[in-house]
Structures are given as C-alpha cells and as structure tokens.
Amino acid sequence: MALHNRLSTVRDRISLAVRHRFEIDTRSLAVFRIAIGLLILADLVRRSRTLTAFYTDFGVLPRTALISRSDPLHLSLHTLSGDAWVQAVFFLIAGVFAVALTIGYRTSAATIGSWIFLVSLHNRMPEVLNGGDFLLRLLLFWAMFLPLGASWAVDNQQASNTQTRTAVRSVAAAALLLQVVIMYSTNAAFKLSGDVWLQGEGLEYVFSLGQFTILFGDVLGSYPAVLHGLDYLWLGMITLSFLLIALPGLWRTGFVFLFISLHLGMLFTMRIDLFALISIAGLLPFLPAAFWDIVLPQLSHYRLSRAIGQWPQKLAGTLPVITVSGVPSLLSRWKTRLGTGVPLFFLVLIVLWNIQVLGYSQVYGHDVVPEEAESVIDLTRTDQYWNMFAPDPLSTDGWIVAPGLLENGSRIDAFHGGPIRWDRPADISDTYPTARWRKYLVGLWRDDTTDRRYFADYLCRRWNSQHEAELVNVSVYFMEQPTQIHTETEPINKVKLEDYHC
C-alpha cells in the first residue's frame, strides 16, 4: 500500500508539472493579444504603401492572373474587386478588427475577424509572404480558441458574475506554445541538414547579402568571428527550443528573453519586415506567472502600472456592452467540445505536416498527411514552411535594373526612375522600396514565370499614367553577384528576365 501511495504521489507530481508547463498565464495572454493586434495594424500600414501595386488589377498581379493559377481553396475577400478604393475599405475593416483585438473588446469576434481578413490578404498576394506572415496567421489561428479577453481587456471589465482566471490550461494553450517550438525546431532540422550552419558560416553568408542588411548589419558583416559565435549560439538555441516548454519558472523566463534579445538583434541588422517582432509576440505566452509576480509589484511605484490597470476600466465605461443571452445549453456544450476537439485535430495535422515538409514522407514511401487533411490545411491556411535561410543561406546577392525606352528616344530606369545605373549600389537594400518588394523581385529572378511579364506590363502602365512621354519598351534585369565571404570581389552577372513592348 505504501508503495502504491508513493507511485500515486509521483504520478500526480509529474502530471501537475506537465500541466504547468503547458499553461499560459492570463497576463501573458493579454500582452500577447495586445502585441498581435498592434502587429496587424503595423502590417496593414506597411502594406498600404504598396496597395495599388500588390492588391489591385492595376498592379503586378491582376485578379485574372491570380485566379487562373491559385489553389481554389485559398479563398480571398480581396478578389471581389480590383479597385484601389475597395481594397482600402478592406484594409480599414481589418484595422477596426485589429483595434478591437488590441483593447480586448468583443475579443472572440475581433480575433475571428482579424484571422479571416489576414488569411484573405495573404491569399490575394502570396508572392510577397515570408516566415513572419506564416507565423502571424498561425498565432492568430490558435488565438481564436483562447480566452484572450480574460485579463487587461474591456471584455474582462464589462463582464459580470464571472470568476477571474489566472491561467489557461487547454489543448489550444498547449498548441500555441508547441507551434512556436515547432517553428524553431523545424528550422533547426533544416539547418542541420546542410553544411554551412554546422561550419559556423551561416550568418556570415546571411550578412554578406546586401539586400538584407541594414543599420548595424552592415557593420556586423565585417566581424566574421562574431558571426561564427552567433551562428553556433542561434543554432544551439533553436535546436534546444523545446526548453521553452520544459524549463520551469524563472529558468524559462531567462531562456525566453535570450530568444527575444536575439530577435531584437535581427530587427536592427536585417531587413526582414516584421518577422522579428512577430517572433517576439509568439514568445510572450511562455512568460510564467513567476515573471509577472516579480515585475508587476516593481512597476507599482510608477504611473505605467496604474495606466495598465486603468485603461480597460475607462474604455469599458465608454464602449457599449454587447451580450448574447439565451444560448441553449446544448449549443454551449458543443462549443466546449469543439474548443477542445478542433485544436487537437489541427495540432496533430500540423505536427504531421512538418514531418512531411522535412522529407520524412520519402522515407515511408507515401505522404504523412492524407490528401483530405491537406485540403483542410489549405482552406484554413495552417500550412507552414520554416526553411528560413536553410538548409543553406542564399549565396547570390542582387538588385533589379529596368531600362525603359521612351517614345522620344530617351532611356530611363522604369522601376526606380531617373538614369539607368548598372554598377553595384552602395547599399543594395535601398534599391528595394520595401522588404515585400524585395521578396517579390527576388522571386522573379529565382522563378521563371509569367509574373515577369506582368511586372514589366505594370511598369509600362505606371509610367504612362504619370508622364507625358510614354514608355514603349521595358526590359527587366537582375544583377546577380555571388556573396563575398571568401574573396574580395566577385563578378556581376547581368541576367535578363524580360523584354516587353508596352
């Protein structure tokens, strides 16, 4: 009997430890909600700069071209119209949902609305997406099954007769945490399958690419020994990313902030749009209760702490209270079951998907994910690819030159404007108006598709709509140059992508 009691006690302790590893403190969930809302707003603002070029029929990918080749399950509200003003309205609606999500007002509806519009936006222009976009929509997907409004939210202040929750333990909470670990560990598996990262040269290659480096990145590239050390540090961290879950309390906090510090380093050295900030947002749910129990009392002496506690109350008093009464008990039970069953179903699918992406389906001779399940993944856009700079980083740098011939015989650069320059620019990243333009244009070079013709046609129409002297011909070149980590200089190769008569 004594042995049975001891085994039962050990089993209970292990069970409790596991539950604690996969629970999310509601304060961490609140900060995560605010971060996601603000990031969606920032993303919309940044995308609005290329609204006409990327999201209208006047731009580089008209709806007819998109629909003719896209997966029919990749649905998009943004394909309902090719007019700029309609797209602006969609951006505005998405912004309203994002604001509601940020302040925690009608949080469930705001989360679902934000996810629908984000997926729609991604499906409209897939050629400009990066790893940060995949992560953002996946974080938002799991967020739909979590009580984001349980703390520091208008909903929490307006609710009556409800018990205050301090932590969330659910399949969805575990899935959100595991999603981040899956991202890091899958990327680690890709990097470990190559030679460059294992030799400590991964970051040296990355920082030799002028199209990516900004600010301190241009300086850091001159210190290969530092990059070698950071290479092994980052590779070790993502390989051991399971410790984000396995470590307890303040040990986990320290590991989380180590990840955050390196992502902040990316923010000030690499032009990768919002990826670094989205990754930081994904790390916030890992912050344990012990972190907040230490930090919040320390902030109690400052106005910041009072502001954090008071703003939901002030907003709750000004915004209308919306309640749904008379919900049948049967419907409530089904909601609870779906809230557990659906996340569990997708968690299994996503684990299998990443196993398949890593190439293990070739080992077994068949796909790990059934065809029917792939359709579900395509529809919900829970597909994911974590091969950023892996197995080996891009080893060729480059920039776009688009010489155009005007009807009066003059020649101009139809993309950048001004005279045509073939020499290597002082800062290659400056030749791309935005990180999304870089993603799109480098894609034109890597993939020989009809997109090259659409891009050239867009340059013609854009120029002719703004100038009296019309453009009659435009060519598109990618000036490729191998990275220079082992030699002082490498030759520049002029690659013609398209020659188009306007």
> pLDDT, tens digit, for every residue of 316-360?
556 666 655 554 555 555 556 677 889 999 999 999 999 988 887
CA 420 – CA 411 distance, rounded (Å): 8
CA 75 – CA 432 distance, rounded (Å): 29
Tell me what pLDDT residue 327 has.
Answer: 47
Picking from 74, 41, 156, 76, the residue whose alpha carbon sits closest to that of residue 108 is 156
CA 95 – CA 387 distance, rounded (Å): 30
> What is the pTM assigned to this prediction?
0.91
Which regions of the chain are under pLDDT 70? 1-17, 158-164, 300-337, 361-366, 484, 486-489
In 290-410, DSSP assigns E strands to 396-401, 403-406
The DSSP string of 368-398 is SS-HHHHHHHHHHT------TT-SS---EEE
> pLDDT, tens digit, for every residue of 389-435?
888 887 888 999 999 999 998 999 999 988 999 998 988 889 999 99
Backbone dihedral angles phi then psi of residue 240, each to the nearest 5 degrees:
-100, 20
Tell me what pLDDT residue 455 has.
Answer: 96
Tell me what pLDDT residue 220 has.
Answer: 85
List the domain boundaries for the chain.
18-193+240-380, 396-501
CA 40 – CA 33 distance, rounded (Å): 11
Instruction: Please list the residues that pair with 310 across neighbouring strands.
Output: none
Tell me what pLDDT residue 304 has.
Answer: 57
